[in-house]
Structure 1
Amino acid sequence: MRIALIEPDLRHAELVGRLLFAGGHACRHFVASTPFITVTSNESFDLLITAAWAGDLPAEDVIAHTRSILPGLPVIVLLAMPRESEIVSLLHAGADDCLAKPVRGPEMLARVDALLRRAGVCRPPNRSHDSFGDYVFDTAHGEVRFQGHNAMLTPKEFHLGLLLFVNLSRPVSRAHILETVWARRRDVRSRTIDTHASRLRTKLQLRPENGYSLIPLYGYGYQLNEVFPADADGSSISEPDERIAETL
């Protein structure tokens, strides 16, 4: 998973980064909240881990700013000397969990995995099938079954589709897509992502009448939304926050 870490303490940030990497996660470190907030205009993350003092703002303010841009992003707060009153205050402010510093590796990774599972963005390892409503992703055969159809996808299309369904109703940045689907290759053009998204929309029939809408976010990435029968005419489909991007 893609995790953002806000930690002014560089030594502790290095420790957390190494542990997350060992747990199979990608970690991007920020020494303060301002550069993180700036980056969220172009990138998406699966989880935010922030120190109680994020270098320029308290964690409560960081959570508020983050949720205004990336609603639903899970947040873990790191506390140097946890007190019950401080933990209660942070949980009321929107934190999903709190951890004592310095972190203990196994506990931190277990809490991260548990939180990502609850948020619906953590896929169990070696699972051959993933179901999302009528859509069933078959990893063994690289195909998707839905409504009596079998859609054969290229490996890149399959992984892009799975990434979008796992992040249903969440904006997914181009950086996130490149990191997950193309393994950070720098020679991949932006148009390549658009082409794959267009093919995926056609092959999986991601249209409101089929219950889903794949929306391009200008200068940001893509968002897959579930469309309910009452919204099939598009009149009630909620659009992504315009502070993130404008819909093409």
Structure 2
Amino acid sequence: MRIALIEPDLRHAELIGRLIFAGGHACQHFTVSRAFLDRAAEEFFDLLITENWAGDHCAEDVIPHARAILPNLPVIVLMTQPRESQVVAALHAGADDCLSKPVRGPEMLARVNALLRRAGLRRPPNRRRDVIGGYAFDAAHCAVTFRGQTAELTPKEFRLALLLFSNLSRPVSRAQILETVWSRRRDVKSRTVDTHASRVRSKLQLRPELGYSLTPLYGYGYQLDAIPLEAVVEAG
């Protein structure tokens, strides 16, 4: 499932993103609600998790706008030391559930999965794949479609690619890659990660002249960036 997260706190957002990905879902992070609403007009999300203060508006205001774009969208609201009045207000505004911050991993995943089960699969026919930045991810077949072509990936290449695209323009550490792609195995060699990154770069044509740059971060990990078309034209 594709989950949107609105969380101004970057450290807490990273924690939630890792938990969601480990639970088998893709997570797209936004620091403000406006960015999420703009993206939701183009791409489908199965669930929204939002901080009570969504960076630019309160969750009570964000929920109706989100559902005007994605009808019946399930919503979980995050709150720090919530008062009963806050929880009641969020539920009256349309939230399906509320969670205290910082989240507890097993509880959060259990609530996410329970809510997705109750919501059922309501994706429209043209939105049954995760589409990020023009790349459509088909988890059932470990395939990615872009610019009219389809690339078949191994399961680990697919999870790495989805991890990088879900963290577009943000650094992804080797520790996070090992945790989500190789389930924390300590015997995975550094060059194995580099080899998989190279294959993903090649198969998905992640080159600056085609709008994307996958950069190794020395001593840390990798970062995938989208390059605006105007920048590519000017460079040419």
Question: For 1:77-135, what per-residue CA distance to the aligned partner results, in whole angstroms no more than 9, with x for missing partners?
Answer: 000111111101100000000000000000000000000000013xxxxxxxxxxxxxx
Cα shift at 1:172: 1.9
Instruction: Return the letter of the residue paired with 2:136.
Output: L
For residues 86 and 170 of structure 1, do their structure 2 counterparts lie closer, same or farther at Cα, with a shift above 3 Å needed? farther
2:17 is aligned to 17
1:185 is aligned to 144
- Matches of residues 171-182 of structure 1 in structure 2 within 5 Å? 172=127, 175-176=130-131, 178-180=136-138
Task: Report the 3-state secondary structure (helix = DSSP H, G, I; strand = E; otherwise coil) of the residue aligned with 2:114.
Answer: helix
Give yes or no for contact 2:6–2:32 (8 Å, CA) kept in 1: yes
Aligned residues: 146
2:48 is aligned to 48
For residues 85 and 170 of structure 1, do their structure 2 counterparts lie closer, same or farther at Cα, with a shift above 3 Å needed? farther
Cα shift at 1:186: 5.0
For residues 41 and 173 of structure 1, do their structure 2 counterparts lie closer, same or farther at Cα, with a shift above 3 Å needed? farther
- Large movers: runs of 4+ above 6 Å: none
- Matches of residues 28-67 of structure 1 in structure 2 within 5 Å? 28-67=28-67
- How far apart are the structure 1 equivalents of 2:125 and 2:112? 19
Task: Report the 3-state secondary structure (helix = DSSP H, G, I; strand = E; otherwise coil) of the residue aligned with 1:87.
Answer: helix
Cα shift at 1:179: 1.9
For the aligned residue pairs, the C-alpha RMSD in angstroms reads 2.2
1:91 is aligned to 91
Give yes or no for contact 2:137–2:145 (8 Å, CA) kept in 1: no
TM-score norm. by structure 2 comes to 0.57
Task: Report the 3-state secondary structure (helix = DSSP H, G, I; strand = E; otherwise coil) of the residue aligned with 1:116.
Answer: helix
Give yes or no for contact 2:136–2:146 (8 Å, CA) kept in 1: no
Task: Report the 3-state secondary structure (helix = DSSP H, G, I; strand = E; otherwise coil) of the residue aligned with 1:179.
Answer: strand
Give yes or no for contact 1:43–1:174 (8 Å, CA) kept in 2: no
Identity within the alignment, %: 62
Q: Which structure carries more helix by proportion?
A: 2
- How far apart are the structure 2 equivalents of 1:45 and 1:7? 16
- How far apart are the structure 1 equivalents of 2:49 and 2:7? 8
TM-score norm. by structure 1 comes to 0.54
